[in-house]
Amino acid sequence: MKIRTRAFMLGLLPTLLVAVVLTAYHLHSRLDDLERTMTQQGMAMAHHLASSAEYGVFSGNTAELDKLLGQAMEEPGVASAAVIWPDQARLARGEAITRLPPLGKASQWQVGKRSWFAYPVQLSPLDKNDPFNEDRTTASAPLAWVVVGIDLHQKQVLAQRLLLASLGITLLGLALSILLIYQLALSGVQPLLDIIATVKRISSGAFGTHMDVTARSPELRELQAMVNQMSESLRSYQQEMEAKVRTVTAELEYKKKEAEQASLAKSRFLAAASHDLRQPMHAISLYVESLKPQMQGRAAEDTLNKIERSILGTVELFNAILDVTKLDAGVVQPTLAPVRIRKLYLQLADEFSAEADRRGLSLRVRAPDVWIESDAILLERIVRNLLSNALLHTTRGGVLLSARPCQGKLRLQIWDTGSGIAPEHQPRIFEEFYQAETQSPQTRHGLGLGLAIVRRLARLLGYPLQLHSRSGQGTVFSLDVPVLENGPADIDEPDEGSSGTLKGWAVVVDDDPAVLNALGHLMRQWGMETRLFNSLQQIVHDLQTAPDVVLADYQLLNGETGLMVACEVHKRWGAHIPIVLITGDTRTETIQTLRQSGFPILHKPVSANQLRALLSTLLQEPSIRQTGG
C-alpha cells in the first residue's frame, strides 16, 4: 500500500469510526426519546380521557361518553378510542380492538402497527379534611377502562426522517473530514512523496536531480535539503568518474594500439625470422638426406640418423612456436574448400608409417572415401599433431585414423592404445607448455605446444574437439566436420610412395647457394639431371631447352619470385611443364597468393620423402600436372 493511501486511511478510518459510533448513539437515543414521548403522549391521552369520562361512566350517560370519544379521535395519531366496562361491554370509536389483555391498572401493549393504552375510570377520592366526608378513605374499584389506540405510522415516518437526517449529517461530516485530511494530512505527506520520487530518479542514474524544498515541517525540510545535497554530490562523483573512465579508456586504447602494433611487428619479425631460419634448416635436412646413401652400412650411419632426428625435432619445435604466435595474433584465416578425407588420412599414414614401424606399432586407416568442406592445410595440421602425439605416447598396440557419419556430420577420430591421460590432467592438456606428469621420460620432450595448436585450430575452424581417455587403456580425440553431399569428381590417386630412380631433368631456382647445392646433389642421387639457377635473369639468358619439372624458391633476390619464374617457363615452353614452389615465408598473404596460383607448394624445410613422392607423381602422371595462373 502506498504511503499516500496509508496516510489517507490513517486520517479517515478514525473519523469514520467516530462518525459511525456517534450516529448510532444519536439515532438510538432519539428513537428512545421518540418511543418514550409517544408512550407518555398515549398514556397522558388515556388518563385525560379517563378523567373526563368519570361522570359519564358513573351516571351512565353514553351520549356524553360518545362525545368524549369523538373528541379523542380528532387528536393526531389516534386510531381508536373506547370505553370498556367490567362486564366487557364497550363503547368504541375508530378501529376495533382485536386483542384485549386483562385490564387492571394503567397498561400498554402493541399489536401490529398500533400501540394501545388503557387507563381505569375511578371515582375521585374524597378530601380527608372535608368535614362532610363520612368515611371514604380509599379509592373505589374501577368503574370502567378507557382504551386509546395510537397509529405507529407517524412514529415510523419520524424515525425515517430522523435516520435520514442523521445519515446526512454523518456524510456531511465525513466529506468535511476528507477535505480536512487531504488538506492537512496529505499535504504533510506530499514532501515525503517528493523525496521518494527524487530518490527513485537518482537510483535510476539521474544524478543531479533537484526538488523544491516545500515541507512545512523542519525535519522534512532538512531531509529534502539533504537529498538535494546527496544528488548533487553523486552528480559530481559521476562526472569525476566519467572523466577518469575516459582517461583510462584513452590510455587503454593507446595501450591496445601499442599492443596491436607490437603484435604486428612481432608477426612480421617472426615471418622474416621464419624464412631466414628455415633456409639453413632446409639445406641441412637436404644434406643429411643426400649423405644417407654414402653412410649406409658404415659406423657413422647411426650418428647421421641421430642428427636427422635432432633436426626434425628442432624443425617441429620451431614450427610449433611460429604456429602459436600466428594463431594468437589472428593472422591465420581459414580458406574453405573440398577436402578428400581418405586421401588426407592415407597421405599422413604413409608419412608416419616409418615412425610407426620403428616403434613397433600398427598404423591403420578406416575411413569412407567422402569429401568434406574445410581448410586442407589447417585440418592436416590438426590431424598431423594428433597423430604425432598418439604415436609418441603409445608403446604397444597401435594407432587408428577413423572417420564415420555422426548426426549429419563426419566424425574424425584418432585412436591410440597408449598410456592414456589421467582425469586430473585432462582439463589442462590443451594448455601451452603443459605436459602430464604421468608421461614417461622417453615421451616427455618438446615444448608441449602440439595440443595447444590443435585446440586453437579447431576453434578457428569451428569444429567441436572432444577427448575421451582412460589411464592405461588409451585415448581418442574426436572432431565433427561438415560433409559435402556433392564433392568434386573422384580422381585416382597416384602412388606417392613410389621408389626407384627418377627419370627426367629438372631446373632448380634458389638464391641460397647452400640450399641450391644440397637440393641439386639430392636430386642427382635420385637419378635426375639437374641444372641450378639463382635468379630469374639467369633462366632468361641461360635456359635454352624445356625442362621436365621446375623447382623454384618463392622469395628470390631483387624482388623476383618463383611465380615470375613459372610465368617465364610457361611463356616459353607451355603450361604443361609442372612447377613446384618452395617457400619458407609463413605470412598469410604469401600463403594465400601461393594457393591462388594453383601450383604445388612445399614448405621449408622440405621432407625428402615428400619431395620425392611429388616429383614421382609429376613426372609419371603428366595428365594431372598443375597449370599456372
What's residue 493's pLDDT? 45
Looking at 481-587, list the stretches that DSSP marks H as alpha helix, in order from N- to C-terminal side: 513-525, 536-542, 562-573
Q: In this structure, what DSSP letter does residue 460 have? A: H
pLDDT-derived band at 28, boundaries 50, 70, 90: confident
- Neighbour-count burial of 554, counting CB atoms closer than 10 A to its CB (0-12 exposed, 13-18 middle, 19+ buried): buried
What's residue 441's pLDDT? 47
- Quick: pLDDT tens for 464-522: 888 888 887 889 999 999 988 776 655 444 444 445 678 889 999 999 888 888 888 88
**How far apart, in whole angstroms, are the C-alpha atoms of residue 89 and residue 96?**
13
**How far apart, in whole angstroms, are the C-alpha atoms of residue 627 and residue 577?**
8
Give one DSSP letter per residue of 235-285, joined into a string: HHHHHHHHHHHHHHHHHHHHHHHHHHHHHHHHHHHHHHHHHHHHHHHHHHH
What's residue 626's pLDDT? 39
Pick the more confident residue, 618 or 186. 618
Instruction: Work out the end-to-end distance of the chain between its first and last CA atoms, rounded to an integer number of angstroms.
Output: 82
**How far apart, in whole angstroms, are the C-alpha atoms of residue 311 and residue 249?**
48
Of 370, 588, 591, nearest in space to 481 by CA: 370
pLDDT-derived band at 175, boundaries 50, 70, 90: confident
pLDDT-derived band at 625, boundaries 50, 70, 90: very low
Q: What percent of the chain has pLDDT over 90?
A: 16
Q: Torsion-angle region of residue 297: left (phi > 0), alpha (psi -120 to 50) or beta?
A: left
What's residue 354's pLDDT? 85
List, as own/partner pairs, every contact residues 499-504 make where C-beta atoms lie below 8 angstroms and the sequence separation is at least 24, other chains included: 501/526, 501/527, 502/526, 502/527, 502/528, 502/612, 502/615, 502/616, 502/619, 503/527, 503/528, 503/619, 504/528, 504/529, 504/548, 504/549, 504/619
What's residue 280's pLDDT? 75
Pick from 172-181, 280-289, 336-345, 456-465: least confident = 280-289
What's residue 132's pLDDT? 52
- Quick: pLDDT tens for 287-319: 777 777 777 777 777 777 777 766 766 666 666
What's residue 573's pLDDT? 92
**How far apart, in whole angstroms, are the C-alpha atoms of residue 230 and residue 159?**
63
What's residue 206's pLDDT? 84
CA torsion angle 486 492 493 494 (round to 10):
-160
C-alpha cell at 402: 577413423
The answer to whether residue 443 scores a pLDDT higher than 80 is no
- Quick: pLDDT tens for 212-261: 887 777 887 888 888 888 888 888 888 899 899 999 999 999 998 888 78
C-alpha cell at 376: 586442407
Q: In this structure, what DSSP letter does residue 576 have? A: T
The model's pTM is 0.42
pLDDT-derived band at 332, boundaries 50, 70, 90: low
Pick the more confident residue, 274 or 206. 206
What's residue 560's pLDDT? 92
Pick from 324-328, 355-359, 497-501: least confident = 497-501
What's residue 551's pLDDT? 93
Q: How far is CA 596 from CA 100, 335, 457, 593, in A?
A: 131, 11, 22, 5
Looking at 296-337, list the stretches that DSSP marks H as alpha helix, in order from N- to C-terminal side: 301-329
**Residues written for the chain:** 629
pLDDT-derived band at 149, boundaries 50, 70, 90: confident
The answer to whether residue 553 scores a pLDDT higher than 70 is yes
Q: What is the mean pLDDT of residues 348-353?
A: 88
What's residue 267's pLDDT? 62
Residue 433 near residue 448, CB atoms below 8 Å: yes
- Quick: pLDDT tens for 261-275: 876 676 666 666 666
Phi (first) and psi of residue 577, to 5 degrees = -75, 125
What's residue 497's pLDDT? 41
What's residue 570's pLDDT? 93
Pick the more confident residue, 436 or 149. 149
C-alpha cell at 392: 609418441
- Quick: pLDDT tens for 390-427: 898 888 899 999 999 988 889 999 999 988 887 777 77
488: cis peptide before it, omega within 30°? no
Pick the more confident residue, 548 or 20. 548
b or e along 23-36 (b: 16 or more beta carbons within 10 Å of the residue's beta carbon)? beeebeebeeeeee
- Quick: pLDDT tens for 35-92: 788 888 888 888 888 888 888 888 888 888 888 888 888 888 888 888 888 888 888 8
What's residue 65's pLDDT? 86
The answer to whether residue 614 scores a pLDDT higher than 80 is yes
What's residue 433's pLDDT? 57
What's residue 323's pLDDT? 61
Mean pLDDT (the chain) is: 80
Give one DSSP letter per residue of 363-387, joined into a string: EEEE--S-EEEE-HHHHHHHHHHHH
What's residue 624's pLDDT? 37
Q: Which residues contact 191 (CB under 8 A, 6 or more apart)?
A: 214, 215, 217, 220, 221, 223, 224
Q: What percent of the chain has pLDDT over 70?
A: 81
Residue 468 near residue 461, CB atoms below 8 Å: no
Q: Torsion-angle region of residue 323: left (phi > 0), alpha (psi -120 to 50) or beta?
A: alpha
The answer to whether residue 568 scores a pLDDT higher than 70 is yes
CA torsion angle 552 553 554 559 (round to 10):
-100
Structural domains in the chain, CATH included, are: 3-124+138-160 (3.30.450.20), 232-284+496-629 (3.40.50.2300), 333-481 (3.30.565.10)
